Amino acid sequence: MSRARRKGEPPRVKEDWIDPFIRSQVGWRADREARLLVKLLGAGGEIPISKLSSGETKLLPKLKKRGYIEITAARRARLTELGATIARGAKKMYPEFWE
């Protein structure tokens, strides 16, 4: 139910009260790992390692150890189900970075 605004009354802004709390716990910007996982998700879940920057390539062993990605025999980085879930969560948490 929406009511008309009276003259001089400031507009009401619907604010999600939990969002600032969560962001204060996890940070206000997506980290490099999350950005790489979202990049892989946007590429269909798999991308050749040669298409990654040197900084992203250095993150691959760390992400593989955590179980977020797999390295295929064809030298491609592929998201695991866990990595895809984390990438979808990062897209929801930081939508301003992926638009």
Q: Hey, how many other C-beta atoms are within 10 angstroms of the C-beta on 88?
A: 13
CB atoms within 10 A of CB 7: 4
Is 49 among the domain residues?
yes
- Please state the pTM of the whole predicted model: 0.73
Whether 18 is covered by a domain: the verdict is no
The mean predicted confidence, pLDDT, of the chain is: 83
Name the residue range of residue 55's domain: 30-97
Domains contained in the chain, number: 1
Q: What is the pLDDT of residue 1?
A: 45
- Residue 53 covered by a domain: yes
Reading across the β-sheet that carries 46-48, which strands appear in turn?
Answer: 46-48, 76-79, 69-71
CATH code where residue 50 lies: 1.10.10.10
Residue 5 or 1, more confident: 5
Kindly indicate the confidence band of residue 90, based on its pLDDT and cuts at 50, 70 and 90: confident
Q: Could you tell me what percent of the chain has a pLDDT over 90?
A: 54
